[in-house]
Amino acid sequence: MSLKIALQMDPPQSIHIEKDSTFVLGLEAQKRGYSLFYYSPDTLKLQNGAVTAHAAPLTFKRKKADHCTLGDFKETDLTDFDMILMRQDFNDPLSYASTTHLLDHVTDQVLVLNNPTGTRESPEKILITHYPDLAPPTMLSRNLSDIRAFQKEHSDLIMKPLNGFGGMDVYRIKPDDGNLEAVFDMFCRLHRGPFVVQKFIPEVKQGDKRIIVVEGEPIAGVLRVPQKDSIRANLAVGGSAQIAEITDREREICARIKPELMKRGLVFVGLDVIGDYVTEINPKSPTGLQHIYKLQGIKCEEAIWDAYEHRLNRFKAAA
């Protein structure tokens, strides 16, 4: 079966082939005989009900400084593809949401994964709040008095912006910390919407586990361990990757959230766990595949593509 797969992503020339998860997803697609195409979300256009983008044939190969080949770009109707994978970085929430609205126009004719509506309606730090017993004590608020009351109840806090990513602006507010108001003022200047305030989980010093979840099932995980005297375990800010096993508690968590993930069309997500608690459910371009392979020899991309193919078969059967 030959399929045309569009990768909506950042420029492929700039990816790090030893770390990038989209790269190995693309290699696995090529291994299965599929044709890849690249387009930037900036080239999307909706006109008279049709959604197009400037797309080019793309070939990946694991060769440094020569890892991709792009053909000629041409304006292409997105319904010409069999599948579209949203894999761009999540660094502009408004722009990302706009992209999902455009893709909503083609989801009855081409399979888009993860589902754009489901992704848009599942912010990383909010989806888990529907399962309060699985998350650490959490409050979303932009009100200083609310945050002070939460601090009085839970003492040691983490504050972070609702739409933050990659460990951006994550602060620990210790008991009687005089910096709470200063951090609050800075957040008000830099970030719109409510802030995420959570009880500090001491187990973060042993690591923040990223679990690759495919159709609600945990496939493998990587432990992201923060540097000494840091609480930020993200690999992008200096955390180190270590082997992680999936615990019974984490399988229980996945079983609880599986029906909702499948209903929303969130085939491939990254689940972030500290201790016994889920801190985030990431449906937007999850990462970690290459770290897991290097540590454990598990090719998560194979399970992901098996799930993609199963979804596509169901999609075509329902058409």
Element spanning 71, H or E: none
Catalytic residue list contains 232: yes
Decide if 299 is inside a domain: yes
Q: With contact defined as beta carbons under 8 Å apart, do 289 and 270 qualify?
A: no
- What's the CATH number where 168 sits? 3.30.1490.20
Which of 87, 125, 264, 299 is labelled catalytic?
125
Catalytic residue list contains 66: no
- Structural domain for 103, as ranges: 4-116
Decide if 130 is inside a domain: no
Q: What is the DSSP letter of 245?
A: P
Decide if 237 is inside a domain: yes
Q: What percent of the chain has pLDDT over 90?
A: 83
Nearest Cα residue to 28 out of 312, 307, 313, 302: 302
Query: Who contacts 189 (Cβ-Cβ below 8 Å, separation ≥6)?
Result: none
Question: Domain boundary at 152, 180, 200, which?
Answer: 200
Q: Are residues 10 and 88 in the same domain?
A: yes
Q: What angle do CA 276, 277, 278 make, to 5 degrees?
A: 135
Q: Are residues 104 and 53 in the same domain?
A: yes
Which of 87, 160, 199, 299 is labelled catalytic?
160
Decide if 315 is inside a domain: no
What per-residue string of b and e applies to 194-207 under the rule 16 or more CB within 10 Å gives b? bbbbbbbbeebeeb
Residues 22-62 pLDDT 10s = 999 999 999 999 999 999 999 999 999 999 999 999 999 99
pLDDT at res. 319: 79
- What's the CATH number where 291 sits? 3.30.470.20
Q: Are residues 56 and 89 in the same domain?
A: yes
Which of 264, 272, 284, 301 is labelled catalytic?
272
Question: Domain boundary at 200, 223, 250, which?
Answer: 200
Catalytic residue list contains 294: no
pLDDT at res. 163: 79
CA atoms within 13 A on the CB side of 204: 24
Q: Are residues 196 and 209 in the same domain?
A: no
In angstroms, rounded to a whole number, what is the distance separating the alpha carbons of residues 204 and 195?
Answer: 20
Q: With contact defined as beta carbons under 8 Å apart, do 289 and 120 qualify?
A: no
pLDDT at res. 154: 94
Q: Are residues 9 and 96 in the same domain?
A: yes
Q: Are residues 89 and 43 in the same domain?
A: yes
Which of 120, 199, 209, 210 is labelled catalytic?
210
Q: What percent of the chain has pLDDT over 70?
A: 95
Q: Are residues 69 and 164 in the same domain?
A: no
Taking phi first (over 0 means left), then psi (-120 to 50 degrees means alpha), and beta for anything else, what does residue 193 get? left
Q: How many domains does the chain have?
A: 3
Q: Are residues 224 and 170 in the same domain?
A: no
Question: What mean pLDDT is predicted for residues 263-286?
Answer: 95
Catalytic residue list contains 148: no
Q: Are residues 58 and 107 in the same domain?
A: yes
Question: What mean pLDDT is predicted for residues 240-259?
Answer: 95
Catalytic residue list contains 62: no
Which of 224, 264, 284, 311 is labelled catalytic?
224
Catalytic residue list contains 142: no
Q: With contact defined as beta carbons under 8 Å apart, do 184 and 191 qualify?
A: no
Which of 199, 232, 264, 284 is labelled catalytic?
232
Name which of 52-66, 161-175, 288-302 the model is least confident about.
161-175
Token pair recorded at residue 55: 């797309």
Nearest Cα residue to 41 out of 100, 116, 81: 100
Question: What mean pLDDT is predicted for residues 272-295?
Answer: 95
- What's the CATH number where 101 sits? 3.40.50.20
Nearest Cα residue to 278 out of 142, 153, 165, 131: 131
Q: Are residues 180 and 241 in the same domain?
A: no
Average pLDDT, the chain: 93
Decide if 300 is inside a domain: yes
Decide if 296 is inside a domain: yes
Q: Is a pLDDT exceeding 80 seen at residue 311?
A: yes
Which of 115, 199, 282, 311 is labelled catalytic?
282
Q: Are residues 154 and 238 in the same domain?
A: no
Q: Are residues 92 and 146 in the same domain?
A: no
Q: Is a pLDDT exceeding 70 seen at residue 189?
A: yes
Question: What mean pLDDT is predicted for residues 17-21?
Answer: 96
Residues 113-168 pLDDT 10s = 999 999 999 999 999 999 999 999 999 999 999 999 999 999 999 999 887 766 67
Nearest Cα residue to 233 out of 213, 211, 255, 206: 206
